[in-house]
Structures are given as C-alpha cells and as structure tokens.
Amino acid sequence: MTNTDDIARGLGKVIRARRKQLKLTQQDVADLTGLARYTIGRVEKGDAGTQLATLGRVADAVGLVVSLSTRYGDS
C-alpha cells in the first residue's frame, strides 16, 4: 500500500511542475483560488494534511484534474 505522504508529495510535485510550466507564481495561483500563498506552498511540498477540496482547487487553477481509478483494473 502506498504511503499517504508519498501520494501527497507526488501530487505536490505535479502541481508545482504544471504551475512552473504555465509561468505562474505561487501568488498567482493563490489569487486564482482565493487561497493564501503559504497554502499553495504547503500543497506543493506535499503536506499530507491538506484537504482534498484544497488540492482540487489548486489543481483546477493550473489546469489539472484529480481523479481516481482502480489499482488493478477492477470495475
């Protein structure tokens, strides 16, 4: 089973890379989401305590979709 911290760090890396690809600052994303800049930093660092709704808002702001799928192709 994957560690929650690993998942949070992985999501944070993807979000950070996408933000940089779009040439946005953390403050830009904060302004787009209505969240504080330090919250964007926590998301990008992979703070496992970040709420799913917050992750969704940040991902949406940088054009990402967070989705789930079954691990082994189960339906």
pTM of the entire structure? 0.86
Residue 52 lies in a domain: yes
Say yes or no to pLDDT of 47 above 50: yes
Query: In this structure, what CATH number is given to the domain that contains residue 33?
Result: 1.10.260.40
pLDDT band at 68 (very low <50, low <70, confident <90, very high): confident
**Structural domain harbouring 36:** 4-61
Task: Answer with the residue of higher pLDDT: 4 or 52.
Answer: 52
Residue 24: CA count within 13 A, CB half-sphere = 22
CA distances from 19 to 7, 36, 54, 73 (A): 18, 16, 15, 30
pLDDT of residue 60: 96
Give tens-digit pLDDT for 1-40.
Answer: 467 788 889 999 999 999 999 999 999 999 999 999 999 9
Count structural domains, the chain: 1
| 22 vs 48: which has the higher pLDDT | 22
How far, rounded to the nearest angstrom, does the alpha carbon of residue 30 sit from its chain's CA centroid?
Answer: 12
